[in-house]
Amino acid sequence: MSDDAVKLSAAEAIERIRGGDLAPDELFSAYRQRIEDHNDELGAFLWTAPGAAGGTDGPLAGVPLAVKDLFCTEGVPTTAGSRILEGHEPLYTATAVRRLAAAGAPMIGKTNMDEFAMGSSNENSGYGIVRNPWDPERVPGGSSGGSAAAVAAGLAPWAIGTDTGGSIRQPAALCGIVGLKPTYGAISRYGMVAFASSLDQCGPLTRTVTDAALLLTELVGHDPCDSTSLGLPEPVRLPSRTDLEGLRFGVPNELNSSAEGVEEGVGRAFDRTLDVIRDLGGEVVDVALPHAPHGIAAYYVIAPAEASSNLARYDGVRFGHRAGNGTLLDLYEQTREEGFGAEVKRRIMLGTFALSAGYYEAYYGRAQRVRTKIADDFRTAFADCDLIVTPTSPTVAFRLGERTDNPLAMYLSDYCTVPMSLAGIPAISIPAGLAQPADGSGPDRGLPVGLQIAGPAFSENGILDAAHALERAIGFDVTGAMP
């Protein structure tokens, strides 16, 4: 098996398998070999499957899937990137993973991530860093950094991740692939280790927009095990649009190429895609999201508050790591002291502070009101446009270690993605080109820039269609970083 098969998009691989030109087990073995050859350097996988489990006759034809280690998998180690869950083997499998396996996408491995999905660089993993395939001295983004790096480096044809404030879209942007965060509730969260339950959403990381639609088709749906899951009101369509005639694209004044923190190279690539939109017949209009600049502040109250409650379950009693040999209180304290990393402790403290008596209204209460304002802003903006476009990340991939001592700088990586999460609306990131970081220190060819396309709740089909037309016109080479 040559490396050619691993350069195929998943849709192309499915077509070859159906035509009898490619056997699913050959494809699985080819990817297993790629993981063996490159994972030591990249750090993308924490566990790899010995063989393909499940049938290959479903719509996904046996094309293997990488799964973020936040998804519970029965009898397979599930750590959420945390030492507190080292060696933990869940008793059940997440609905998302089960649905994809049943559709013919067997799990090839579990991918590295920021601990409990808290981070934007994958440097908060309890199991080591992940390197960006475009430049090994740079971060892949996070928290779904392992999934993004695996897909970009050709160690998996596609992957699933989770997005709470940008954890699918930002790593997809930094690694030059496609990442979709669906409408809140489109996909079941059952078996997804909870971080901030009012924001967490599963979604695909793929090399093409069509591949994202293929995974989304199988992922969406109501699940009796998650009462917040809704599915989508209409079936997912495979995107086919090649022009943007009749569509209005809103560019928010607060999140455009001259917004605070947006690198010059990223801004230029973004403005070029606005020209592409016009060339394809789309209209570009200015819109306002006046509360978007307060998104990060509101998010870093709401998400840590929910996390401080969700993470109370890691106490060393029922599963995972246990430490301490004195009283029950020793057991709790020692277990959590040893098991959690610095960022998780930071967020638990922030969250408990924001929820404490006397501060609750000033922090949590106000943040939930800001959230209402941000959702209202989007509703107003969508009266004047069909879709909203922004850069996905204000910067290209930054250097390893560059932001680890400055949590706020790290949090601002999600400046453009957090508002959509707070509003619960769907958004995709697609590669928009290559650019240099602000200090010009990137590799000669540059580093990937992501374009974010957001729409109203349940507008996944419209987003996928527009993304497909743009992907085709931009012509980005997603295999450009494969070793």
Partner 1 sequence: MSRELSTVLDHIEKIAELDLDGVPPTTHVIEVENVMRPDEPRPSWPVEHVLEPSPEATEAGFRVPSPGQ
Return residues touching partner 1 (CB under 8 A).
88-91, 183-185, 198, 224, 228, 230, 291, 293-294, 296-298, 300-301, 316-322, 324-331, 342, 345-346, 349-350, 362-363, 365-373, 375, 405-408, 411, 422-424, 457
> CB-wise, 87 or 281, nearer to partner 1?
87
Choosing from 143, 144, 229, 459, the catalytic residue is 143
In the sheet with 45-48, reading across from the earlier edge strand, the strands are 45-48, 107-111, 65-68, 159-163, 201-206, 178-181, 427-435, 447-454, 387-391, 248-252, 283-287
- The DSSP call for residue 415 is T
Q: Which structure tokens are listed for 318? A: 């029922």
Closest approach of partner 1 to the CB of residue 297, in Å: 4
Omega of the bond prior to 197 within 30 degrees of 0, cis?
Answer: no
Q: Of 185, 259, 239, give the one whose Cα is nearest residue 416.
A: 259
Contacts of 365 (CB under 8 A, 6+ apart): none
Which 3 state secondary structure label does DSSP give 413? helix
Closest approach of partner 1 to the CB of residue 351, in Å: 12
Closest approach of partner 1 to the CB of residue 38, in Å: 32
Which residue stretches of 311-365 are H helix?
Answer: 328-339, 342-355
> CB-wise, 129 or 331, nearer to partner 1?
331
Closest approach of partner 1 to the CB of residue 330, in Å: 7
> CB-wise, 36 or 330, nearer to partner 1?
330
> CB-wise, 236 or 298, nearer to partner 1?
298
Sort 306 into a burial class: Cβ within 10 Å, 0-12 / 13-18 / 19+.
buried
Closest approach of partner 1 to the CB of residue 344, in Å: 12
Which 3 state secondary structure label does DSSP give 126? coil
List the beta bridge partners of residue 352.
none
To the query of whether residue 110 is one of the catalytic residues in this protein, the response is no
| CA distance linking residue 11 with residue 434, whole number of Å | 25
- Angstrom distances, CA of residue 257 to CA of 272, 274, 414: 10, 10, 15
> CB-wise, 248 or 346, nearer to partner 1?
346
Radius of gyration for the alpha carbons in the chain, expressed in angstroms and rounded: 21
Which 3 state secondary structure label does DSSP give 254? helix
Choosing from 68, 120, 181, 421, the catalytic residue is 68
> CB-wise, 165 or 320, nearer to partner 1?
320
Closest approach of partner 1 to the CB of residue 45, in Å: 22
Closest approach of partner 1 to the CB of residue 4, in Å: 42
> CB-wise, 320 or 391, nearer to partner 1?
320
Residue entry with tokens 């077509």: 15
Quick one: CA dihedral 400, 403, 404, 407, positive or negative? negative
Choosing from 82, 121, 125, 167, the catalytic residue is 167
**CA 461 to the chain's CA centroid:** 19
To the query of whether residue 143 is one of the catalytic residues in this protein, the response is yes
To the query of whether residue 68 is one of the catalytic residues in this protein, the response is yes
- Please give the positions annotated as active site: 68, 143, 167
